[in-house]
């Protein structure tokens, strides 16, 4: 990689020689290294864009887990086991963050220095969205059969897809205020889908 | 001079012969247990000396002599039932509160300690009164594991000290720790705790080279698990899992037993059952259940409290008795499918695990839900142990299969008002590390209680309490000013550690969450001393092995560095390093751990000038390639 920002070296804990700061393994002695401060996109060799091909990313994720997972280090020294656990955990975090569109949007906002809404001390101040959410919740409360709920789930998912498209545009244009609002909307839509599913299984169990 | 073995960089050498110990797979089940071994990805179950049954009933008889495990113990139910313990897995990691809910269903007396909490305010573990003994579930499980270990050693004709042990995916932290403790007591090093459905998938996946999305429906004696896995290119990725830790074939037995008792009552019998009666009745009920797998009806004679009654039970009646129980499993399955956003028709195959999946009504319910006939070409009683054996082989360097599992239950902390703040959601891939920040709610608050809970509910008292500890020494600040960072780590076994840190001052408390229902270290040490003479030896052996592993890595690393940067190696350094390697190899051949560590340190010292030369050279190279402007 010709990435200049990643070209710093550190000392390999095992052979004491130089190793690239972002390397997973020492190129000389092959010892597993501690996870550095790699950003999630770089980890998967992805462009910093909201549009992520989740399937392709998953393939990279699985390839990396094949190398880093603690099961690969079961007969190695305690230190190597601990490092592998850290590496696998940070790989999992990167994957889980980028896989979930809301988490991905929040991550990209923070990377750009913007705190997403709804976090600590950031109340959601979008009357239109709050009204919409309230209406959806009422409709869900009134829904009494599976097919009504299924239709609702289908509809919220469609809206979520559209919202993701808008987020893509917003991030591409560095419109972070718009992205913030859209991320909040997406979070609501996801939550509604979840609640609708929960209600569906409650209905099924009754 | 000793000849040096130089490995190609990037090529991981196989573990040295002496450490390449044999590792078995153990399915420690509620009703039955099985031990298996795998060679070249061909797993097989280990049978008793006579080459008979692979299944060991998870039943222990505590007579006057050493504990007896398996079929022989089960036979004692008719003669000496009060000293027979079965289904102990249901109590693993359980506190008294939990046990009350299953109390009536357990065929032995569960002791309620006078103080329900220890001096540290931790709830006491359940104890069983068995004959003259008072036993913890961990000890009973250890007896079962010891017997499986002996079986494996006799069958393989060599010592067996390592194993992969399976647990229900739905087992919480307390039950997982209890299982590990039991293995420790039995002198077994647990390479990994693997979830039962995942193990089963592994057994099927390798056999069929399966790719795609699979569901594993596991209904055992006492637990139900449903897992969805994606299999691709040797990677088994658990997408979602769910279940009920107290639902299984035992409940079918109880349903039949209740039915038989009700019929007797209608016939005028007044039964006041003691423990032995209850066990005999359950044994009869189990026979009924098993017979109804192939037959449409069965006649059974029940002899209790002096009266003998004859009953006919039809398949139809039995199906009706268990309808609700089976419906609970399908409801949980639908929930898990929803969680993973998967439709039943997306599932390529359904694997059946556990003896209870032999019940026709269960098979039919699963087939109806997934609209396909489930797979069952591997014996459902053996499939988990076979998968565990495959994983044991993979962990000891024998294959490239990889299991990626998830947390079965959400983990969180108690916040104001008894509300749970989730830190790690269920179905998060493990290992996982996550942190969350909290703050004080009173001015000048100097301590904070950290209460770790597991479960999906919103209120603390509806979740399982895993541990409590207090972060002290928070400096005096206004309410809301302190920043307390609580870090959760779940390892590849699914076990949790929690640490808390006050960020502004760095006050830190690190607590390995030893679940409150597990055994504390002192108890463990006492039990080890009492029950196992080799404990100390084993421990020392382990430390020695670790020293050797570390020393070997050290030598390989230095050799690799010398091969890579030969030009930077002075003749003097080379001599010193090679001499130090020779000394270390000599020390490694011996049994003295301190000598190995000393020699390893000497090697580190001898190779230091060379390591520094390599660092210098790399830095010079890096600088040479850049403009002065860029170097800052």
Contact B259, B317 (CB under 8 A): yes
CA pair distance B240, B476, nearest whole angstrom: 44
Ramachandran class of A30: left when φ > 0, alpha when ψ lies in -120 to 50, beta otherwise: left
* DSSP single-letter state for residue A100: S
Residue B196 among the catalytic residues: yes
Residue B493 among the catalytic residues: no
Q: What is the pLDDT of residues B254-292, one digit of tens each?
A: 999 999 988 888 877 776 777 678 878 888 999 999 999
| Confidence at residue A28, expressed as pLDDT on a 0 to 100 scale | 87
- Domains of chain B (ranges; CATH) run 18-247+325-404 (3.30.420.40), 249-322 (3.90.640.10), 411-522 (2.60.34.10), 533-624 (1.20.1270.10)
Task: Say if residue A139 is in the same domain as residue A92.
Answer: no
* CA of residue B36 relative to chain centroid, distance: 16
| Confidence at residue B384, expressed as pLDDT on a 0 to 100 scale | 95
Would the pLDDT of B116 be above 60? Answer: no
Helices (H), ranges, B209-292: 249-266, 275-291
Minimum mean pLDDT range among A71-75, B48-52, B416-420:
B48-52
Would the pLDDT of B398 be above 70? Answer: no
Query: Does the residue A104 lie in any domain?
Result: no
CA pair distance B495, B500, nearest whole angstrom: 17
Domain boundary among A99, A134, A164: A99
Task: Say if residue A78 is in the same domain as residue A129.
Answer: no
CA pair distance B126, B460, nearest whole angstrom: 22
In this prediction, the answer to ipTM > 0.85 reads no
CATH number at residue A169: 1.20.1280.20
Instruction: State the distance between the two ends of chain B, measured CA to CA, in whole angstroms.
Output: 47
> Which chain A residue has its CA at the smallest distance from B331's CA?
A205
> Mean pLDDT, to the nearest integer, of B392-413?
85
Q: What is the pLDDT of residues A33-60, one digit of tens each?
A: 988 878 899 999 999 999 999 999 999 9
Domain boundary among A64, A99, A134: A99
DSSP result, A117-147: TTSTT-----HHHHHHHHHHHHHHHH--SHH
Task: Say if residue A9 is in the same domain as residue A80.
Answer: yes
**Would you call B396 helix, strand, or coil by DSSP?**
coil
**Would you call A39 helix, strand, or coil by DSSP?**
coil
Query: Does the residue A108 lie in any domain?
Result: no
CA pair distance B5, B13, nearest whole angstrom: 10
Boundaries of domain holding A186: 123-205
| Confidence at residue B375, expressed as pLDDT on a 0 to 100 scale | 87
Q: What is the pLDDT of residues B281-320, one digit of tens each?
A: 888 999 999 999 999 999 998 887 778 889 999 999 999 9
Task: Say if residue A95 is in the same domain as residue A37.
Answer: yes
CA pair distance B326, B304, nearest whole angstrom: 29
Express the helix, strand and coil content of chain B in percent, nearest 5 each.
Answer: 45, 25, 30
Query: Does the residue A111 lie in any domain?
Result: no
Q: Calculate the alpha carbon distances from B421 to A160, A186, B437, B452, B551 in Å.
A: 26, 21, 11, 10, 44
Interface residue of B400, B406, B425, B432 to substitute, partner A, most A CBs within 10 Å: B432
Interface residue of B429, B603, B629 to substitute, partner A, most A CBs within 10 Å: B429
Strand order in the sheet with B127-130: B109-111, B127-130, B133-135
Domain boundary among A34, A64, A99: A99
pLDDT grade, residue B110 (50/70/90)?
A: low
| Confidence at residue B350, expressed as pLDDT on a 0 to 100 scale | 93
Token pair of B247, please?
Answer: 């639902």
Interface residue of A3, A12, A17 to substitute, partner B, most B CBs within 10 Å: A17
| Confidence at residue B288, expressed as pLDDT on a 0 to 100 scale | 94
| Confidence at residue B162, expressed as pLDDT on a 0 to 100 scale | 93
pLDDT grade, residue A144 (50/70/90)?
A: confident
Quickly tell me which residue has 């779940």 as its tokens.
B490
Task: Say if residue A94 is in the same domain as residue A139.
Answer: no
- Residue contact B550–A79, C-beta within 8 A: yes
Task: Say if residue A95 is in the same domain as residue A12.
Answer: yes
Query: Does the residue A113 lie in any domain?
Result: no
Task: Say if residue A137 is in the same domain as residue A93.
Answer: no
Query: Does the residue A199 lie in any domain?
Result: yes
**CB contact A194 to B (< 8 Å):** no
User: For the CA atoms of B379, B187, B189, B164, what is the dihedral angle to 10 degrees?
Assistant: 0
Query: Does the residue A129 lie in any domain?
Result: yes
Task: Measure B299 CA to nearest chain A CA, in Å.
Answer: 34
Instruction: State the distance between the two ends of chain A, measured CA to CA, in whole angstroms.
Output: 57
pLDDT grade, residue A140 (50/70/90)?
A: confident
Q: What is the pLDDT of residues B207-259, one digit of tens each?
A: 666 788 999 999 988 889 899 998 887 788 888 888 887 788 989 999 999 99
Query: Does the residue A106 lie in any domain?
Result: no
Task: Say if residue A95 is in the same domain as residue A130.
Answer: no
Beta strands in B472-550 (DSSP E): 484-490, 496-502, 507-511
- Residue contact B232–A62, C-beta within 8 A: yes
Q: What is the mean pLDDT of chain B?
A: 82
CATH number at residue A88: 1.10.287.110
**A45, exposed or middle or buried, with CB in 10 Å at 0-12, 13-18, 19+?**
exposed
Contact B229, B216 (CB under 8 A): yes
Q: Calculate the alpha carbon distances from B283 to A85, B286, B289, B360, B601 in Å.
A: 46, 5, 10, 20, 62
> Mean pLDDT, to the nearest integer, of B156-178?
88
Contact B285, B260 (CB under 8 A): yes
Q: Which residues numbered 55-94 in A keep a CB inside 8 Å of some CB on B?
A: 62, 65-66, 69-72, 74-80, 85-86, 88-90, 92-93
| Confidence at residue B190, expressed as pLDDT on a 0 to 100 scale | 93
Query: Does the residue A35 lie in any domain?
Result: yes
Contact B34, A54 (CB under 8 A): no
Tell me the residue length of chain A: 206
* DSSP single-letter state for residue A32: B
**Would you call B564 helix, strand, or coil by DSSP?**
helix
Task: Say if residue A138 is in the same domain as residue A201.
Answer: yes
Would the pLDDT of A151 be above 50? Answer: yes
Percent of chain B with pLDDT over 70: 84
Contact B549, A75 (CB under 8 A): yes
Task: Say if residue A92 is in the same domain as residue A131.
Answer: no
**CB contact A16 to B (< 8 Å):** yes
Q: Which residues of A touch B429 (CB under 8 A)?
A: 92, 95-96
Task: Measure B564 CA to nearest chain A CA, in Å.
Answer: 6
| Confidence at residue B550, expressed as pLDDT on a 0 to 100 scale | 84
CA pair distance B529, B538, nearest whole angstrom: 12
Q: What is the pLDDT of residues B4-63, one digit of tens each?
A: 444 444 444 444 444 456 899 999 998 899 999 998 888 999 998 776 789 999 999 988
Token pair of B143, please?
Answer: 């007896």
Of A70, A75, A78, the CB nearest to B397: A75
Q: How many other CB atoms sit within 10 Å of the CB of residue B540?
A: 12
Token pair of B543, please?
Answer: 């430390």
| Confidence at residue B13, expressed as pLDDT on a 0 to 100 scale | 43
Task: Say if residue A201 is in the same domain as residue A129.
Answer: yes
| Confidence at residue B333, expressed as pLDDT on a 0 to 100 scale | 93
**Predicted structure pTM score:** 0.79
Residue B218 among the catalytic residues: yes
Task: Say if residue A16 is in the same domain as residue A69.
Answer: yes
> Mean pLDDT, to the nearest integer, of B159-173?
89
CA pair distance B244, B241, nearest whole angstrom: 11
Contact B517, B113 (CB under 8 A): no
Token pair of A65, please?
Answer: 């887990």
Q: One of B122, B196, B502, B573 is an active-site residue; which one?
A: B196
- Number of compact structural domains in chain A: 2
Q: Which helix (H) or strand (E) holds A78?
A: helix A78-99
CA pair distance B413, B418, nearest whole angstrom: 9
Assess whether the previous peptide bond of B431 is cis (omega < 30° from 0). yes
Of B235, B489, B619, the CB nearest to A66: B235
CA pair distance B479, B481, nearest whole angstrom: 6
């Amino acid at each position: 990689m010709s990435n200049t920002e990643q070209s710093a070296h550190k000392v390999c804990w095992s052979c004491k020689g130089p190793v690239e700061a972002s390397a997973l393994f020492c190129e000389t002695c092959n010892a597993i290294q501690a996870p550095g401060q790699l950003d999630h996109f770089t980890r998967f060799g992805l462009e910093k864009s909201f549009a992520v091909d989740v399937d392709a990313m998953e393939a990279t994720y699985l390839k990396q887990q094949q190398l880093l997972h603690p099961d690969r280090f079961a007969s190695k020294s305690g230190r190597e086991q601990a490092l592998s656990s850290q590496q696998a955990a940070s790989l999992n975090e990167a994957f889980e963050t980028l896989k979930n569109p809301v988490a991905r949007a929040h991550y990209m906002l923070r990377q750009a220095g913007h705190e997403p809404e709804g976090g600590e001390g950031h109340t959601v101040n979008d009357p239109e969205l709050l009204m919409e959410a309230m209406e959806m919740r009422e409709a869900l409360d009134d829904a009494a059969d599976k097919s009504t709920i299924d239709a609702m789930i289908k509809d919220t998912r469609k809206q979520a897809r559209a919202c993701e498209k808008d987020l893509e545009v917003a991030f591409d244009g560095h419109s972070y205020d718009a992205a913030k609002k859209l991320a909040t909307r997406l979070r609501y839509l996801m939550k509604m889908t979840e609640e609708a599913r929960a209600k569906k299984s409650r209905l099924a169990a009754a | 001079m000793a000849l040096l073995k130089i490995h190609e960089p990037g090529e991981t050498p196989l573990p040295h012969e002496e450490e390449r110990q044999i590792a078995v797979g153990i399915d420690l089940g509620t009703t039955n247990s099985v031990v298996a071994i795998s060679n070249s990805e061909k797993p097989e179950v280990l049978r008793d000396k006579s080459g008979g049954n692979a299944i060991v009933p998870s039943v222990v008889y505590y007579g006057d002599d050493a504990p007896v495990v398996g079929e022989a113990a089960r036979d004692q139910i008719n003669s000496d039932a009060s000293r027979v313990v079965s289904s102990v897995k249901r109590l693993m990691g359980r506190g008294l509160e939990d046990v009350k809910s299953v109390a009536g269903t357990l065929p032995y007396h569960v002791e309620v300690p006078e103080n329900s909490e220890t001096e540290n305010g931790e709830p006491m573990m359940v104890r069983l009164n068995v004959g003259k003994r008072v036993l913890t579930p961990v000890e009973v499980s250890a007896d079962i594991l010891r017997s499986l270990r002996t079986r494996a050693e006799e069958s393989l004709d060599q010592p067996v000290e390592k194993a992969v042990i399976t647990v229900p995916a739905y087992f919480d932290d307390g039950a997982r720790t209890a299982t590990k403790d039991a293995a420790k007591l039995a002198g077994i090093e647990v390479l990994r705790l693997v979830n039962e459905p995942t193990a089963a998938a592994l057994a099927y996946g390798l056999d069929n080279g399966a790719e795609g999305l699979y569901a594993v429906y596991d209904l055992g004696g006492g637990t139900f698990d449903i897992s969805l896995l994606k299999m691709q290119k040797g990677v088994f990725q658990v997408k979602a899992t769910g279940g009920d830790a107290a639902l299984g074939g035992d409940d079918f037995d109880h349903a039949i037993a209740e039915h038989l008792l009700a019929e007797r009552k209608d016939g005028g019998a007044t039964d006041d059952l003691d423990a032995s009666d209850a066990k005999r009745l359950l044994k009869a009920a189990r026979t009924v259940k098993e017979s109804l797998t192939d037959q449409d009806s069965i006649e059974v004679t029940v002899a209790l409290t002096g009266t003998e009654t004859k009953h006919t039970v039809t398949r139809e009646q039995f199906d009706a008795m268990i309808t609700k129980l089976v419906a609970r499993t399908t409801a949980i399955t639908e929930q898990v499918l929803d969680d993973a956003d998967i439709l039943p028709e997306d599932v390529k195959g359904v694997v059946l695990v556990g003896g209870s999946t032999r019940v026709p009504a269960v098979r039919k319910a699963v087939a109806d839900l997934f609209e396909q006939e489930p797979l069952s070409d591997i014996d459902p009683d053996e499939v988990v142990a076979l998968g565990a054996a495959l994983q044991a082989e993979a962990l000891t360097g024998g294959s490239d299969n990889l299991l990626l599992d998830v947390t079965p239950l959400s983990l969180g902390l108690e916040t104001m008002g008894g509300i749970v703040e989730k830190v790690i959601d269920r179905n998060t891939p493990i290992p996982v590390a996550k942190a969350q920040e909290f703050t004080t709610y009173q001015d000048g608050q100097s301590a904070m209680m950290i209460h770790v809970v597991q479960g999906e509910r919103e209120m603390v008292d509806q979740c399982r309490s895993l541990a409590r500890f207090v972060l002290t020494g928070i400096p005096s600040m206004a309410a809301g000013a302190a920043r307390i960072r609580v870090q959760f780590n779940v390892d590849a076994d699914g076990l949790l550690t929690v640490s808390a840190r006050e960020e502004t001052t760095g006050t830190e408390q690190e607590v390995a969450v030893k679940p409150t229902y597990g055994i504390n270290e002192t108890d463990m040490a006492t039990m080890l001393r009492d029950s196992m003479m080799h404990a100390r030896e084993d421990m020392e052996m382990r430390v020695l092995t670790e020293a050797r592993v570390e020393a070997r890595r050290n030598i390989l690393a230095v050799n690799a560095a010398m091969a890579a940067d030969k030009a930077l190696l002075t003749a003097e350094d080379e001599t010193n390093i090679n001499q130090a390697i020779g000394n270390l190899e000599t020390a490694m051949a011996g049994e003295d751990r301190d000598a190995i560590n000393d020699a390893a340190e000497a090697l580190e010292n001898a190779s230091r000038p060379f390591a520094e030369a390599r660092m210098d050279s790399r830095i010079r190279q890096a600088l040479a390639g850049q403009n002065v402007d860029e170097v800052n």
